[in-house]
Structure 1
Amino acid sequence: MREARAEDARTEARRLTLLLLGEEHPTAAELFRQGRAVLGPGRTAMCGRLAGGAPLTRRSAELAAIAALVVGTRDLGMRWWRDSREGKLPAPDEVLAANTAIDPWTDLTVLEMLATWIADDAADERWGRPVDTVDLNSWQAEDRIELPPDAWPGDRLLVAFDAGGRLDALVVERPGGRLGSNLDFASLRYSPPAEAQWSWGVAAGLGPHPLPDQPADPYLGPIDEEAADRLRAWALRHDAATAQVGPRWRNKGDVIAAIDRVDWMWRSGEWFGWWRAVCALVDGDAIQLAARLCDLDS
């Protein structure tokens, strides 16, 4: 069942990347080719430097953010990069050049922040400004938003949730004449940049994703082979298939490929500890690696 859900997600992701980017099996090389055509060589080079500077376990997420920027720029045009926002926010070009995330997105990387920004702007362009924002970690439908003063029974109001995510709320009359609202989960949708970000990351997987024109391939970097053997053996003992785990890991690229094939997210909770350990192995975090190995051995 878990494997079927994972394959369903990959199938949908490949469908969307084909629709939005013209590639069913996306690669970094093709993404950068499209980036140069849509964003321009200068912006694409800056995005490439940011993606190349990220930990290898994060590179796929950074490339997915670039996919959102490509699709979003096609929707909104180059003015999106150049215009400041009513004197409150700098232009996206300035943010990219400064390589510093700004409020309210300081918990994201710069590329992720820009992807979130363009996904929301594309949603506003397509559907209008939302009246409120909800957290869909709770699926309670009733009275989740603050109604505008002119709300009337039967109105459909636009509500935001994730970056680029929107759904409708139906205004209803409660007993006693009080107005309330019900979220219409069937109306849930995402803007094209948000769909591109999700679908590129799922369809392309964790990697390896060598970057064009990168002077050295970091995926060939060495790893702690004793720790690698222990983590590979743990995966095999916990029902990962040999084809998923692959032959003995010799470098960072071998580990990244194994993480991607194992589909750890669809397995039991103890696999989260394994994931943190193999990420520490790839990222060269010896302290974190030792701690996670102890947890797995206990």
Structure 2
Amino acid sequence: MRQAHAEDARTEARRVVRNLLGEEHPTAETLIGDAGPVLGRERTGRCLDLALGASLTRRSAELAAIAALLVGTRELGETWWGEARGGKLPAPDEVLRTAVAIEPWTDLTALEMLASWSADDAADHLWGSPVAEVDLNSWQAEDRFDLPEGATPGQRLVVHFDAGGRLDAVVTRRPDEELGSNLDFQSLRYSRPAEAQWSWGVAAGLGPHRLPGEDPDPYAREVDSAAVGILRAWALRHGAGKDLLGERWHNVGDVVAAIERVDWMWRSAEWFGWWRGASALVDDSGYLPYRLEELAAG
């Protein structure tokens, strides 16, 4: 069932990528080539530098953020990059230059922050500024925020729940004559930059994503055979066949491709430790020995 859902998500992601970016089979090379004329040569080069600086297991997320910026710039115009925000926030160009994330996005990379920024600005442009933020980890529909002054029964208010994500809350009169609101979950929608970010990441997958001018090829680095043996043995014991793992892992590219193929499996709690171990092998992380010891015993 989980595998079928994963395939459905990839199929939908490819459809969205095709509609938004015109790519049948999204690749890093195509994305960077498409970004150049829209973002400009200098910005595209800076985006590429930031993607090159990310770990290989983060590279897909950084490229997905570039896809969002490509679509966002088409939506908002090139002038968006130079607009400071009332003295409180620097212009996006400054964030791209310094690569320093700012509030409220300090848990994101610079590219992810800019992608979220463009997704929210595009959403505001389409649907107006939201009156409140709600957490959709709770599906309670009633009275999730304080109503703005002047709200009237039947009025639809736009609320924010994620970067570029919006839905409506309908103002209603309660039996005690007080005004309240009900979230209309059927109205949930995302701006196009947010859709581009999600769909590119899902459709293109973890990789390998080789980038222009990259020498030496980081995916060609040989991986430790002892670590490979432990990771493959654990995966085989827990239901992953050679059709998913591949016949052998010689280099980082082999491991990345295998992680991508077993994606639908490692999303279960049982497989999370394996994913952390395989990712540490890809990124040559000091976290690897701890994970290998744990996996060898399980």
TM-score category, normalised to shorter length: over 0.9
Offset at residue 295 of structure 1 (A): 2.4
State the TM-score, normalized to the length of structure 2: 0.97
Q: Structure 1 residue runs of 4+, over 3 Å off?
A: 264-268
| Deviates further, 268-277 or 190-199 | 268-277
Q: What is the rounded CA distance, in whole Å, between the counterparts of 2:81 and 2:217 in structure 1?
A: 31
CA contact (8 A) 1:264 1:275 kept: no
**CA deviation digits over 1:8-32, x for unaligned, max 9?**
1001000000000001210001100
Q: What is the rounded CA distance, in whole Å, between the counterparts of 1:93 and 1:215 in structure 2?
A: 28
**CA deviation digits over 1:214-250, x for unaligned, max 9?**
2221111122221112101211111112111002111
Q: What is the rounded CA distance, in whole Å, between the counterparts of 1:265 and 1:145 in structure 2?
A: 38
Structure 1 position 275 matched with structure 2 position 275: yes
Match of 2:97 in 1: 97
Amino acid at match of 1:295: E
Match of 2:118 in 1: 118
Match of 1:189 in 2: 189
Match of 2:172 in 1: 172
Match of 2:293 in 1: 294
Gaps of 5+ in 2: none
Match of 1:220 in 2: 220
| Deviates further, 63-72 or 99-108 | 99-108
Amino acid at match of 2:291: R
CA contact (8 A) 1:171 1:182 kept: yes
Structure 1 position 39 matched with structure 2 position 36: no
**CA deviation digits over 1:118-153, x for unaligned, max 9?**
000000011100000001111111111210011111
Match of 1:160 in 2: 160
Q: What is the rounded CA distance, in whole Å, between the counterparts of 2:264 and 2:290 in structure 1?
A: 19
RMSD value, Cα: 1.1
Amino acid at match of 1:163: A
CA contact (8 A) 1:168 1:185 kept: yes
**CA deviation digits over 1:23-65, x for unaligned, max 9?**
1210001100111010011100100010011000000000000
| 1:3-152 alignment runs, 5 A limit | 3-152=3-152
| Deviates further, 264-273 or 188-197 | 264-273
Offset at residue 260 of structure 1 (A): 0.1
How many residues are treated as equivalent by the alignment?
A: 297
State the TM-score, normalized to the length of structure 1: 0.97
Q: What is the rounded CA distance, in whole Å, between the counterparts of 2:140 and 2:78 in structure 1?
A: 39
The change in CA–CA distance for 1:47 and 1:267 in structure 2 (over 3 A counts) is: closer
Q: What is the rounded CA distance, in whole Å, between the counterparts of 1:20 and 1:144 in structure 2?
A: 33
